[in-house]
Amino acid sequence: MLRPMIQKTIRTFCLIAFLLATNFALAQTEFSGEMFDSQKGSNGKIYFAKDKVRFESTNKDPRSGGVVIMNLTTQTTTVLMNQQHMYMELSQQMASQRTAYNFFRTGDVEAACSDWMQLPQNKGGSCHKIGSETVNGRSTVKYEGTNAKGETGDVWLDPKLRFPVKWEGKNGSWELRNIQEGTQPASLFEIPADYKKFDMPNMGGMMQRPQ
């Protein structure tokens, strides 16, 4: 029973992480916020430090709950399974996503198309800047991008956070609300002392691309 629950948790969060990582720019201002799915409402929280990001589920279903912590400097990902008091490190499984890790660390909010086009999945696609828009009271710059498969998505970048606060595409529509700027506690990005490491074989294939 443990394996299906872990797979669902990892796929859910890595989809979110993948969507963010294939967008724009490392945040320069630390912040926290609530992540909203346009269809399901509140789905989780995000905490962003200078080189780390934490995705935290608010789903009450224990089969899809948990936490994912990405370290953008070491290019590692850790999944915390709170119900089991266990954690899993995904550094090797996520090696193929290193371009995405690096993409967090680059970018110009006013000229983000060059970064979009550098991603392998967007080769042969297109990107153009739409213009300035306000999202939940924050000034943003809107972009429309099309990947190599012809799938189109829109992203709204916050120039102050240097981070997407809204994005729409094939995999869903999300936005950040109740954004609070400020230094994030280091403890948010650490593995709890009483958690035990969990290793599960054959994770590499599962992590190639969230479905």
Q: What structural domains does the chain harbor?
A: 2-206 (2.50.20.10)
Whole-angstrom distance, CA of residue 1 vs CA of residue 63 = 10
Contact 81, 3 (CB under 8 A): no
**What is the three-class DSSP state of 185?**
coil
* Residue 25: DSSP 8-state: -
43-87 tens-digit pLDDT: 789 999 988 889 888 766 555 568 888 887 787 888 898 888 999
* pTM for this predicted structure: 0.76
Contact 76, 94 (CB under 8 A): yes
pLDDT band per the 50, 70, 90 thresholds, residue 96:
very low
Whole-angstrom distance, CA of residue 156 vs CA of residue 137 = 13
